[in-house]
Amino acid sequence: MKKLILQIAVLIAVFFAVFTLSKQINWMKLFKVDKLTKSTEDKLGDLIWKSYSATITEETNYVVINAIDSIVNKICTANDIDSSTIKIHIIQKDEVNAFALPGNHLAIYTGLLQDCDNADEVAGVIAHELAHMQKNHVMKKLIKEIGMGAIISLTSGNSGTVSEILHLLTSSAYDRKLETEADITGVDYLMNAEINPEGLAQFLFRMATTEKDMPKAIYWISTHPESEERAKDIMARIRVSKKKNFTKSADQDWAIVKKELDKE
């Protein structure tokens, strides 16, 4: 009996030894899993955007487009993010909303731009969404909600769940852990870009107050809950960083941007 117990122990030990040794090899790199995942994400993003773009009108005003481009570029350059991979879409809609889609599609509603008091607030929202993209939150959320199987089936020609995914990404929240990570990373992005991160906190504070008073469809808040607590967390993060000097991003232009938006 002693011999058998010893043999069982040896068998288990051998398996775990093989498993531990196997873990030392970077199989993800060897099988090019990251590349495959990226290509699936890009395919999925293009598929979703193709379906979504048929239902919306994109902003064509160059003053607005250039202002957003310049904010995105500034954040990307300061944080070693390849800005050419970010596909920015400014959508003509009154709702206060912005969201990231797979394949680095960043959608911002004109309603949100009109609601922002200054460019720092817009930069705050953009940095937050960029953080979702860079931290792979979009795919994590999709995999959690609909599963990898449905995603693969979708990218291989089954178009059944595109509207479900779209609804999921535009009007439902990430979990609190991912939101906090996006807030913190977003603040770091802003500070690296010398943009005042208080803009994001101010936007969240204002949205939290407005939410109580107005029945208006403030989607960004419904998809980003507990905004007041998060704004406080952001302020705490800024205090810890001890960084005080920020150049105002594109503040002087924001009144012009809003004026252009009001014309429409």
Partner 1 sequence: MNTFSYTPSEHELEKASNSYLMSLVALIAGMPLPIINLVATFFFYVGNRRGTYFVRWHCIQALLSQLSLLFMNSFGFWWTVSILFGPETISNKYLAYIISVFLFNIIELIATIYSAIQVRKGHHVSWWFYGDITQIICKPKL
Where does this chain bind partner 1 (CB under 8 A)?
3-4, 7-8, 10-11, 15, 18-19, 22-23, 25-28, 31, 33, 37, 140, 143-144, 147-150, 152
Q: Closest separation between CB of residue 23 and partner 1, Å? A: 4
Q: Who contacts 231 (Cβ-Cβ below 8 Å, separation ≥6)? A: 200, 201, 202, 204, 205, 208
Choice between 22 and 84, CB closer to partner 1: 22
Q: Closest separation between CB of residue 18 and partner 1, Å? A: 5
Q: Closest separation between CB of residue 124 and partner 1, Å? A: 29
Q: Closest separation between CB of residue 138 and partner 1, Å? A: 13
Choice between 23 and 263, CB closer to partner 1: 23
For 192-214, the three-class secondary structure string (H helix, E strand, C coil) is HCCCCCHHHHHHHHHHHHHHHHC
Q: Residues 70, 186: contact at Cβ < 8 Å?
A: no
Q: Closest separation between CB of residue 15 and partner 1, Å? A: 7
Choice between 5 and 54, CB closer to partner 1: 5
Choice between 33 and 56, CB closer to partner 1: 33
CA distance 92 to 111: 8
Rounded to 5°, angle at Cα 126 from 254 and 53: 95
**What are residue 21's phi and psi, to 5 degrees?**
-65, -40
Choice between 41 and 121, CB closer to partner 1: 41
CA distance 259 to 243: 32
3-class secondary-structure state, position 101:
strand
